[in-house]
């Protein structure tokens, strides 16, 4: 049986003390805008007014999706394994960013179709890809629980090794179909409004993808409990991300959520454990269709809007930079008194 760990409320008193410090630094009050809010919440999460963000880790969960059998993806499932090999060899967008930005990278096989044999790949393989959710639920109850538990385990391990900023990333051909089905079910949005071109469908492909999602939701009689939605339409990497977000919150680690796929996992996590939202930092506004509506429904305002839609955790990595700068300002700027500047 899956044990959802306890998540503590964050301490508003610490956030308040952090804002007091911001208000004493030599700048007009509030003039660092969202950087101030970010740091205040980070202080509350870390339970200190001396926040630390130098130790960063990004965990990419990879898995394949049975739904691709319905022709809903522009790329074949083999690409998941090919991309995972590139992650392991340091040859992908997220590898470039993690090197540049000093982020530890972990790559996890949650259920890649073609097995990748590489000692650097962390294996939590559940199955060679999830089930085709038009024909049967994407995961069994046990599979889903195992995947969520694996995600929680990565948050616990991160805490153990002193990680101060955690993020998840995704790789899995077919996972935008899964995510659109999750958003549609969880937030009661028509599939046509929250289904995009994924990695490169044409208009016919997108129409097909919408029809498949619509048919599947009907077939499974519109499940409404968040974990039931995840089990029917999700996938192993998405369930692991849900676990990472719940686990990150439970361990008191500030955790960044990447774009479309990661937000689907986070939306499930927030419905399962609403307190988890206080620990999550939404990175960027994905360019995938319907994402702005998702943000509105969930009352989220991500940090960046660079019209990216790559996945791999690339948006989260860029947002970590902004957090780095915000913390440097908070820590290193002098107060009015220290700097001998008139307050008015």
Binding site for a copy of itself (CB under 8 A): 25-29, 31-35, 74-76, 78-79, 82-83, 86, 91-93, 96-97, 99-101, 198-200, 287, 303-310, 314, 317-318, 321-322, 324-325, 328-329, 332-334, 338-342, 344
Nearer to a copy of itself, 25 or 244 (CB): 25
Q: Closest approach of Cβ 88 to a copy of itself, in Å?
A: 12
Nearer to a copy of itself, 87 or 220 (CB): 87
Q: Closest approach of Cβ 37 to a copy of itself, in Å?
A: 9
Instruction: Say whether 143 is catalytic.
Output: no
Which structure tokens are listed for 127? 């199955």
Task: Give the span between the Cα atoms of 316 and 175, in whole angstroms.
Answer: 18
Indicate the pairing of strand 280-282 with strand 104-111. unpaired
Contacts 24+ apart (CB under 8 A), 13-21: 14/43, 14/44, 14/47, 14/48, 14/49, 15/40, 15/41, 15/43, 15/44, 16/40, 17/43, 17/49, 18/43, 18/44, 18/49, 18/330, 21/49, 21/330, 21/335
Nearer to a copy of itself, 139 or 317 (CB): 317
Q: Closest approach of Cβ 112 to a copy of itself, in Å?
A: 14
**Terminal-residue alpha carbon distance, the chain:** 61
Q: Closest approach of Cβ 65 to a copy of itself, in Å?
A: 16
Nearer to a copy of itself, 98 or 273 (CB): 98
Nearer to a copy of itself, 7 or 173 (CB): 173
Q: Catalytic one among 36, 211, 312, 344? A: 312
Contacts 24+ apart (CB under 8 A), 121-125: 121/84, 121/88, 124/150, 124/240
Helix/strand/coil for 283? coil
Across 93-115, b (16+ Cβ under 10 Å) vs e yields bbbebbeeeebebbbbbbbbbee
Q: Closest approach of Cβ 23 to a copy of itself, in Å?
A: 11
Catalytic site positions: 312
């Amino acid at each position: 049986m899956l044990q959802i760990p306890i998540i503590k409320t964050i301490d508003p008193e610490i956030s308040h003390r952090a804002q007091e410090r911001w208000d004493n630094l030599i700048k007009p009050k509030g003039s660092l805008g969202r950087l101030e809010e970010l740091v205040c919440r980070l202080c509350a999460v870390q339970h200190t007014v001396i926040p630390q963000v130098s130790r960063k880790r990004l965990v990419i969960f990879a898995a394949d999706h049975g739904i691709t059998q319905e022709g809903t993806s522009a790329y074949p499932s083999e690409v998941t394994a090919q991309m995972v090999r590139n992650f392991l060899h340091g040859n992908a967008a997220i590898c470039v960013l993690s090197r540049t930005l000093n982020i530890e990278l972990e790559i996890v096989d949650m259920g890649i179709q073609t097995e990748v044999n590489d000692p650097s790949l962390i294996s939590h393989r559940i199955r060679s890809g999830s089930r085709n959710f038009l024909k049967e639920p994407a995961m069994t109850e046990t599979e889903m629980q195992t995947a969520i538990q694996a995600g929680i385990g990565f948050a616990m391990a991160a805490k153990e090794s002193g990680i101060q900023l955690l993020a998840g990333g995704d790789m899995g051909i077919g996972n935008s179909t899964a995510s659109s089905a999750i958003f549609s079910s969880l937030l009661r949005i028509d599939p046509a409004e929250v289904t995009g071109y994924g990695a490169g469908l044409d208009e016919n492909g997108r129409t097909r993808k919408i029809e498949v999602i619509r048919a599947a939701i009907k077939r499974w009689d519109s499940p409404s409990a968040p974990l039931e939605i995840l089990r029917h339409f999700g996938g192993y990497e998405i369930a692991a991300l849900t676990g990472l977000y719940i686990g990150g919150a439970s361990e008191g680690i500030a955790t960044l959520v990447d774009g479309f796929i990661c937000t689907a996992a986070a939306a499930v996590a927030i419905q399962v454990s609403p307190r988890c939202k206080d620990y999550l930092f939404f990175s960027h506004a994905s360019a995938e269709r319907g994402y702005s509506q998702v943000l509105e429904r969930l009352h989220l305002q991500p940090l960046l809007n660079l019209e990216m839609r790559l996945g791999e955790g690339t948006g989260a990595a860029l947002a970590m930079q902004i957090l780095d700068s915000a913390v440097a300002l908070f820590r290193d700027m002098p107060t009015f008194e220290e700097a001998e500047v008139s307050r008015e």
